A and B are shown apart, each in its own frame.
Chain A
């Protein structure tokens, strides 16, 4: 059906941008059946599509609903392709981010978008969910040997919980081991500085740029 691999990759990418979950799944199955390298299909198909969706989000052609449906299509394809990754591709050490909404807050759409865009950019993401106590961020970052702790909140009442994560890291001499980044409605660069976080981003695409910068990979 496909002239060559490139057309299939393009179709996968288009299925993600077009929010077509069933089509993405079906194309991923075709890729597997035709023994196309899963890693390449993910990178040049699904991840490429999510990157384009992110650009449309930045230019305000797509909004949160569209981005979520694009990610549904991406994950549908990933579920099919991931089991077929070569062992060295599946096991390669990737930059790891522990992410969550801080304790006292259940607004998690922003956090979910950051998670989606980070995964689409090839980072390992451990999603703790919402309403997460400071200690759990620290413990998970240690046990998972993470590189970054990413904290989100929409509420001003819970901003202090972000500072508490940093303080706990300092008290336990773990501060140098992890980068801490923060984001969410009431958060500003000045607040990030004040609590001694390593970075702030005002949108999901910018959070990806920030993590890439911290990981030392070209944006």
Chain B
């Protein structure tokens, strides 16, 4: 695997205590790219928890990063509540049809049962298997989609955002349903020994306003975070796209770590909320990780580290979002290599040479 001196569990523990580590934690967010590591098709993950676990564990062993995240797409909870998902033969799934089309149909929905509905049981199986295989050495997390985002998949994003202004009560009703499903799934994830890892893509200020996030996104996220904290686990919260105007609110959810998309700036994030939360991010998944060269990956990592390595609550080198399926292995290797090369403690004068922008 690698020449690392510590396991990811040891590294995070020491880093969290402010003790010396061999290198910064590093998480290229590998989702369906794991299929490539075991020579499987992405659609093979559907309904096959063992394959998801095998692929994710193999990818972890292949690259030597610090968190395994059981994730195929954002739709699993919405699918379990009736949304129709299209599964291409060998690409990431996408939403074909929301579960309902109008507010008056909300009453027909029920929170998902994680042990019965859709692909949730298979994802739980993948989490259990991954924890069993490597849980002692590396944290295994289970992707959990935030209530507002699941609500958008249940009724359609345009319908949902129009309702926010025209019928806010209906939006709250739908978010509450999605939250009940998410809480049940979070509990099941925790029972496998995994920690839920939260993504609420649609809460981005690329889509809704900070005020709307405060009303329809943040309160539901907070209840999820509170629940997970109640089980003694830390929580990472990822929101895609632009988020600068809601960093404070994201920290107010109680999340321990914010995963910052490449559409936002790590240096600004550090200055804004770095005393409250750990940060992770934000090498561009598309422009750098998918389309760039290993040397561009190295430069991007060094820029991120230069900006955020001294974040008061800590920093994890990561991609800004989940990696595209076809991300070249050599670019993922390059991310880890760059982090190993920088080592610990970080010496900024060595980084500044590449910091020209």
Measured CB to CB, the residues of A under 8 A from B are 19, 60, 62-66, 68-69, 72, 104-107, 109, 112, 155-157, 159, 185-188, 190-191
Q: Which of B92, B206, B287 contacts A157 (CB 8 A)?
A: B92
The reply to whether A156 and B324 contact each other, CB–CB distance below 8 Å, is yes
B290 partner residues in chain A, CB cutoff 8 A: 156, 186
| A157 to B212 Cα, complex, angstroms | 30
Q: Is the Cβ of B285 less than 8 Å from the Cβ of A186?
A: yes
| Given contacts A19-B165, A69-B165, A106-B94, A188 and B207 within 8 Å (CB-CB) | no
Min Cβ gap B249→A in Å is 15
**Which of B12-20, B134-142, B155-163 forms part of the interface with chain A?**
B155-163
For A19, A63, A159, A185, which residue has the most chain B Cβ atoms within 10 angstroms?
A: A63
Known contacts A60-B205, A188-B287, A190-B287; A109/B158 CB under 8 A: yes
In Å, the complex CA distance between A72 and B92 comes to 33
Query: B207 and A64: CB pair below 8 A?
Result: yes
Tell yes or no: B241 within 8 A of A by CB. Answer: yes
Q: A64-B207, A65-B212 are in contact. Are A106 and B95 (CB under 8 A)?
A: yes
Q: Do A104 and B91 form a contact, CB below 8 Å, given A65-B208, A156-B290?
A: yes
CB distance from B284 to the nearest CB of A (A): 8
CB within 8 Å for A156 and B207 given contacts A106-B96, A109-B157: no
**Size class of B's contact patch?**
20 to 34
* Measured CA separation A206–B161 after assembly (Å): 22
A202, closest chain B residue (CB): B263
B205 touches A156 (CB 8 A): no
Give min CB distance, B194 to chain A, whole Å. 26
Q: In whole angstroms, what is the CA distance A143 to B6 when docked?
A: 63
Q: What chain A residues lie within 8 Å of B165 (beta carbons)?
A: 19, 65-66, 69
Q: How far is it, in angstroms, between the C-alpha of A60 and the C-alpha of B91 when the chains are bound?
A: 34
**Please, which residue of chain B has its CB at the minimum distance from the CB of A187?**
B286
- The verdict on B169 contacting chain A, using a C-beta distance below 8 Å, is no
30 A-B pairs (CB sep. < 8 Å)? A19-B165, A62-B209, A63-B207, A63-B208, A63-B212, A64-B206, A64-B207, A64-B208, A65-B162, A65-B208, A65-B209, A66-B165, A69-B165, A104-B88, A106-B95, A106-B96, A109-B158, A109-B207, A155-B94, A156-B286, A156-B290, A157-B91, A157-B324, A157-B326, A159-B286, A186-B287, A188-B286, A190-B291, A191-B287, A191-B291
